Amino acid sequence: MISGARNNPALTHPSLWIGAAMTACVVLLALIALVWTPQDPTAMEMAKRLQTPSAAHWLGTDRFGRDVLSMAMAGAAISLQVSFVAIAFGMAIGVPLGLFAAMRGGTLDEAVMRVSDFVFAFPALLTAIMLRELFGPGALNAMIAIGIFNVPVFARVTYGAALSIKTRDFVTASRLAGKSEMRIALDHVLPNVLPLLIVQATIQLSLGILAEAALSYMGLGVQPPAPSWGRMLNDAQTLMAIAPRLALVPGLCIVFTVLGLNLLGDGLRDWLDPRLRRRQA
Amino acid sequence: MTLLVLDHLVCTLDGTEILHGVNLRVKQGEIVGLVGESGSGKSMTALAIMQLLPERAQLWGQIVFDGRDLTQTSEAEMCAIRGRDIGLIFQEPMTALNPLKTVADQIAETFMLHEGFAYANALDKARAAMDRVGLEDIPATRYPHELSGGQRQRIVIAMAIACHPKLIIADEPTSALDVTTQAQILALLREITRESGAALLLISHDLAVVASMADRIAVMKDGRIVEESATRTFFGAMRDPYARALYEASVHRPVRHTDTRFPTPFFVADDCTRLYRKPRLFRADPLPVRAVDKVSLAIRPGESVGLVGESGSGKSTLARALLGLDPLDAGTITLDGVRLDPTRKQDRLLLRRKVQMVFQDPYSSFDPRRTIGWSIAEALGHLTGPVAESDRMQRVAALLAQVELTPDFAARYPHEMSGGQRQRAAIARALMTDPELIVLDEPVSALDVSIRARILDLLAELQSRRAVAYLFITHDLSLLRAVTDRTLVMQKGKIVEDGATSDLLDRPQHAYTRALIAASPDLPRI
Amino acid sequence: MSLLWLLRRLAGLVLALAAASAVVFILMDLLPGDPAEIMLGTNARPDTLAALRAEMGLDRPALIRYADWALGLLRGDFGRSLTYSVPVAELVWERLAVTLPLAVMAIALTLLIALPLGAMAAARRNSLTDSTIVAITQLGVAIPNFWFAMMLVLVFAISWRWLPSGGFPGWSAGPSAFLALILPAIALALPQAAILTRVMRSSLLETLGEDYVRTARAKGLTRSEALRRHAFRNALIPVLTILGLQFSFLIAGTVVIENVFSLPGLGRLVFQAINQRDLVVVRSVVMLLIGSIIIVNFCVDLAYALVDPRLRGRA
């Protein structure tokens, strides 16, 4: 049913491919930035400060004469890295927890979910403030702070979906086939929860990008001279009246990336939603 | 006088035609039954009359109600007609009421809307309406979740009849209810329509329910009325092949041979008890319910035993405990003379090799992300020794052949199969370890009647070939007579009557068995 | 709502607050090492260090210090700020006069935008109105609030000079104090409103498909009456859940936005305290913010029971 022209995802879900294209664009730029940028994004040259766009500097320079395009590209790399690692951290802990709680049930289940509710009360920004003295400000601090907030998110999603899968008769049939709970969790529950996790991961990635930007803006994330979108916005703020361009570029980068990821997530959800699928069948 | 005329009604949904020219008449005060399988278009017909079709639908033809064509009536006028001149009763009483409003408020709304009552007066009228439908003991301030399914359906009926409509449309009003509740609700509907002189259009998949109620029966198939006549003459005069097939499938009895070679039971359960505690946060309910209360039963090889009871009687809980899916709080299970402790893994595996299960809902009994072949072979290597891949495929193909499916089904995914095909595959899966007992939990109740008969035939044939015993869980008494040798009647966690099926149904001893039999609608034999 | 249920909930609240304070204390006081050294820097004179240690009571066991701090919080004693040399409670009280009105304005604005827009989109599903609203919210969700704040400043303060670009004249200044909070409130509310509009829309669409809405229509209610009387309140239940979760984003948002607009609120206080290494202030304000998130979510739990009779249970 997934194959075949009638259900070609690109045709039936425009937001899926628009989002995928936008995301691919950003990921590609970030990958390129890892090996090459037009200029060294950290090289300051006071003689060239606050230049308007030109052939040499497509997006102009900032107040230290750094090339804005190179900074934006390097910023994309950092931003994606931080949120990828943070979301991977959240999934690595949250998914097994949620799965375990759902399969076991009882008091343990209750306890795991209570704790994850509790962690929801710690927004990434406040966690980053608290962890600042422990890890020092920097990308690691941002990754851990955003990652911690993602643990309960993935635990909840996995738990909820696993509980509903667990009541289905095919899980009972699997128990009757002599399989252990652990085996059933891996053979049946996880594969059926996976589409939901992919959708959630896309959405959390976009939230991660936003959180990383806020943390860097506040000086709690990536530290200078490493370029990051949030840091660039912080620098641009005092120059708003004379060089609004400096605030526009990183801001639009964030909006583009987050929008792309959100569209991708929405598209994936529509495409994978079993209720919609049944209607198509 | 004719109250409602459907004249060549055609309806499309997203461009696909689903009603192909439906013609139907309902006279004043008449009860007309509309019968058909799922997807035949009966519910769409009801929604078309109410002009409540989804926006994706388009309608042609005429619906003349009380002298006016409803297809030409404005939405504002339709709002005045709905609830005042036509009352509608739905299938699912659990979701038909707003969970956030008291039941009396929801009935009162009808009076305020159509008869201009102030809220306080409307509440009085709502109270009276509740009394009328037999809810004298229910306070008006109750919320829907505080009522049982049958009580909620009475509330829906009270709303539908509040303004003395000329026509009541009831769409599967009892198919979500237990037999005894169903009988009460049907009696109430009959009484109310007779008393108020309203006409009733009763829509159901159940020919027996319709036959017990209607003056006239219309059979619907694929968006057409294929047979229509007065109930008196209906069963004698069926001309349409589909209507005949529907009737025959409803009264179908597979050919069975009772296997009497083995007089000694191989599966014995003694004094089985299973407690149910309401889940509460951080503590157990102090007063557990005895969901299964000291139940003993014994099953002989090749025997077919029925387990009957209404929802909540504990029959599914008992089945789960017998299969070792849930632990027993007391009692023992003995298999081939060996006492088993299902909390021990070794015993559990032994039990599962010998006792398997087929589920009610063929849609949820296969993992949508696995092929049918994978699912059928799941027990290999877990309940058996290691099995080579080629051997595995051979065994799957052999089992598929036994349930009359071609080998290529092994590579299919569940959504590529019909409900009946999935149920066959589910039977094949249960046969994988060559079990001595298969628990069949309402194995045909989710299937349409025509498919139902074929599955029953298959089960009977497998039994005579393999000498496997069945524990057949059902709420359907006519099915019991057709497929079982012996029947256990369960009520409130206890087995209240036990005997040969024909004796038990013809000469019931226990009051509960008698009530069940009295409540079960039966088709006339021709 | 039964008393027992309420008591159990209250016990859960107390437990959560106690656990949160323990987490804050462990992360900020115990693990990083010597707070006095952090505050004064590594090259501080040993005698000033010792004096500070004594003042902060660092010579006492950790458990006693925690108990001291936690009990102080309960009495409203938040410790003494080193940089300002005043009780933290005094600072907090002063700063709340900015943060609290800002948060309330942002929440009010969020609800005022989200509920009608979401309802409108759902009521006119698949229309031009609906797709426009969906597109706008899609964009709104993607815009970081602090960047949006900067753009607002650029347009309304720098280009058009309608509103102040930052700073806060104090409530004694009258209407201009209110004006100073308008742009920050809008910046805070927009992304939240975008999310909530989407939640409201999908929730209402779901309830509109429920059987009881069809029952209401069969009774003779018009589409809009059925929406108003039966679907709307049911649709609010998931909206309430998200609103509770959003409060934690709102708190984080105020910290950032106050810095964009240089508003003397709690967020600015905590940010300055971080840079001045005034751990006493940081610790107490962070605890206060987390505590408020926990308490608001507790209130949301109670609100469920008011909205939904199924959770009330007959006593």
Domains and CATH numbers, chain C: 3-75 (no CATH), 88-311 (1.10.3720.10)
CA distances from B449 to B208, B526, C118 (A): 12, 18, 45
CB nearest B361 (choices: A169, A174, A274)? A169
Q: Which of B446, B451, B453 is nearest to B251 (CA)?
A: B453
Q: What pLDDT digit, counting tens, does each position of B229-256 carry?
A: 999 888 888 888 888 888 888 888 888 8
Tokens 């930035």 — which residue? Answer: A33
Give the residue from C146, C195, C272 with the most A CB atoms within 10 Å of its CB, the best one to mutate.
Answer: C146
* CB contact residues (below 8 A), chain A span 239-268, against chain C: 240-241, 244, 247, 250-251, 254-255, 258-259, 262-263, 266
Helix (H) or strand (E) holding A273: none
Tell if the CB–CB gap between B109 and C229 is shorter than 8 Å: yes
For domain B2-250, give the CATH number: 3.40.50.300
* Tally of helices (H runs) and strands (E runs) in chain A: 12, 0
Identify all chain B residues contacting C215, using CB atoms and an 8 Å cutoff. 88, 90, 96-98, 106, 156, 159
Interchain CB contact of B75 with C (< 8 Å): yes
Please say whether the beta carbons of B175 and B521 come within 8 A.
no
Sorting pLDDT into bands at 50, 70 and 90, what band is A11? low
- In DSSP terms, B24 is beta-bridged to B6
With a cut of 70, say whether residue B308 has pLDDT above it: yes
Measured in angstroms, the CA of B351 and the nearest CA of chain C are apart by 41
Tokens 């461009």 — which residue? Answer: B15
For domain A2-34+65-280, give the CATH number: 1.10.3720.10
| Six-digit token string for B348 | 């559990």
Q: Which of B275, B249, B204, B156 is nearest to B482 (CA)?
A: B249
Cα separation of B257 and B464, whole Å?
Answer: 6
Q: What pLDDT digit, counting tens, does each position of B378-417 carry?
A: 999 888 888 898 999 999 999 999 999 999 999 999 988 9
Interchain CB contact of C138 with A (< 8 Å): yes
Residue of C nearest to B46 (CA): C218
With a cut of 90, say whether residue C28 has pLDDT above it: no
Average pLDDT of chain A, as a whole number: 86
Cα separation of A182 and B34, whole Å?
Answer: 50
Q: pLDDT at position A4, please?
A: 40
Q: What pLDDT digit, counting tens, does each position of B84-107 carry?
A: 999 999 888 888 999 999 999 999
Q: What is the mean pLDDT of residues A111-132?
A: 89
* A280 vs A86, more confident: A86
With a cut of 70, say whether residue B279 has pLDDT above it: no
Cα separation of C28 and B378, whole Å?
Answer: 52
With a cut of 60, say whether residue A280 has pLDDT above it: no
Tokens 């509103």 — which residue? Answer: C163
pTM listed for this prediction: 0.87
Please say whether the beta carbons of B252 and B482 come within 8 A.
yes
* A178 vs C52, more confident: A178
Query: For residue A78, what is the DSSP state?
Result: H
Burial (CB count within 10 angstroms: exposed 0-12, middle 13-18, buried 19+), residue C311: middle
The domain limits of chain A are 2-34+65-280
Q: How many residues does chain B have?
A: 526
Cα separation of B399 and B427, whole Å?
Answer: 9
Q: What is the mean pLDDT of residues B1-23?
A: 92
Q: What pLDDT digit, counting tens, does each position of C147-186 carry?
A: 999 999 999 988 888 888 888 888 888 888 889 999 999 9
Q: What is the mean pLDDT of residues B176-196?
A: 90
B-C C-beta contacts closer than 8 Å: 73
Please state the three-class secondary structure of A20-60 as a single string: HHHHHHHHHHHHHHHHCCCCCCCCCCHHHCCCCCCCCCCCC
- Phi, psi dihedral angles at B364 (to 5 degrees): -100, 0
State the CB neighbour count (10 A cutoff) for residue B37: 19
Average pLDDT of chain B, as a whole number: 90
| Six-digit token string for B4 | 């409602």
Q: Is C291 helix (H, G, I), strand (E, B) or coil?
A: helix
Q: pLDDT at position B526, please?
A: 53
Sorting pLDDT into bands at 50, 70 and 90, what band is A6? very low
Cα separation of C57 and A254, whole Å?
Answer: 45
State the CB neighbour count (10 A cutoff) for residue B432: 21
Q: pLDDT at position B524, please?
A: 67
The DSSP code sequence of A136-162 is: -SSHHHHHHHHHHHHHHHHHHHHHHHH
Q: pLDDT at position A96, please?
A: 95
Cα separation of B254 and B257, whole Å?
Answer: 10
Residue of C nearest to B152 (CA): C212
Q: pLDDT at position B139, please?
A: 93
- Phi, psi dihedral angles at C36 (to 5 degrees): -65, -40
Tell if the CB–CB gap between C142 and A258 is shorter than 8 Å: yes
Q: What type of residue is C56?
A: M
CA distances from B343 to A172, A173, B323, B351 (A): 16, 18, 11, 11
With a cut of 80, say whether residue B478 has pLDDT above it: yes
Interchain CB contact of B281 with A (< 8 Å): yes
Please say whether the beta carbons of A262 and A206 come within 8 A.
yes
Residues of chain B with CATH 3.40.50.300: 2-250, 267-519
Query: For residue B315, what is the DSSP state?
Result: H
Q: Is B236 helix (H, G, I), strand (E, B) or coil?
A: coil
Cα separation of A237 and A216, whole Å?
Answer: 14
Q: Which residues neighbour A41 within 8 Å (Cβ) at sequence distance 6 or greater?
A: A66, A67, A70, A71, A73, A74, A227
Q: pLDDT at position B281, please?
A: 47
* A63 vs B347, more confident: B347
- Phi, psi dihedral angles at A140 (to 5 degrees): -60, -45
* CB contact residues (below 8 A), chain A span 133-162, against chain C: 133-134
Strands (E), chain C: none
- Phi, psi dihedral angles at A105 (to 5 degrees): 70, -175
Tokens 């667990």 — which residue? Answer: A166
For domain B267-519, give the CATH number: 3.40.50.300
Please say whether the beta carbons of B178 and B475 come within 8 A.
yes
Task: List chains adjacent to chain B, taking adjacency as at least 3 C-beta pairs closer than 8 Å.
Answer: A, C
Tokens 């599967």 — which residue? Answer: B172
Give the residue from A83, A141, A203, A210 with the most C CB atoms within 10 Å of its CB, the best one to mutate.
Answer: A210
For chain A, the 3-state helix, strand and coil shares in percent, each to the nearest 5, are 75, 0, 25
Cis ω for the linkage preceding A225 (within 30 of 0): yes
Query: For residue C209, what is the DSSP state?
Result: T
Please say whether the beta carbons of B62 and B182 come within 8 A.
no
Burial annotation C236-245 (CB, 10 A radius, 16+ → b, else e): bbbbbbbbbe
Helix (H) or strand (E) holding A186: none
Sorting pLDDT into bands at 50, 70 and 90, what band is B525? low
The DSSP code sequence of B378-443 is: GGTTTTSS---HHHHHHHHHHHHHHTT--GGGGG--GGGS-HHHHHHHHHHHHHTT--SEEEEEST
Sort strands B86-89 and B279-280 into parallel, antiparallel or unpaired: unpaired
Q: pLDDT at position A8, please?
A: 56
Sorting pLDDT into bands at 50, 70 and 90, what band is B164? very high
- Phi, psi dihedral angles at B288 (to 5 degrees): -70, 150
Q: Which residues neighbour A184 within 8 Å (Cβ) at sequence distance 6 or greater?
A: A103, A171, A174, A175
Sorting pLDDT into bands at 50, 70 and 90, what band is C55? confident
Q: What type of residue is C120?
A: M
Measured in angstroms, the CA of A66 and the nearest CA of chain C are apart by 21
Lowest mean pLDDT among B54-58, B218-222, B510-514, C252-256: B54-58
Cα separation of A234 and A222, whole Å?
Answer: 12
Tell me what percent of the residues of chain B surpass a pLDDT of 90: 67
Please say whether the beta carbons of A219 and A137 come within 8 A.
yes
Q: pLDDT at position B397, please?
A: 95
With a cut of 90, say whether residue B9 has pLDDT above it: yes
Sorting pLDDT into bands at 50, 70 and 90, what band is A12? low
With a cut of 80, say whether residue B442 has pLDDT above it: yes
Tell if the CB–CB gap between A177 and B382 is shorter than 8 Å: yes
Tell if the CB–CB gap between C158 and A120 is shorter than 8 Å: no
Q: pLDDT at position B210, please?
A: 92
Q: pLDDT at position B287, please?
A: 67
Computed on alpha carbons and rounded to an integer, the radius of gyration of chain C in Å comes to 24
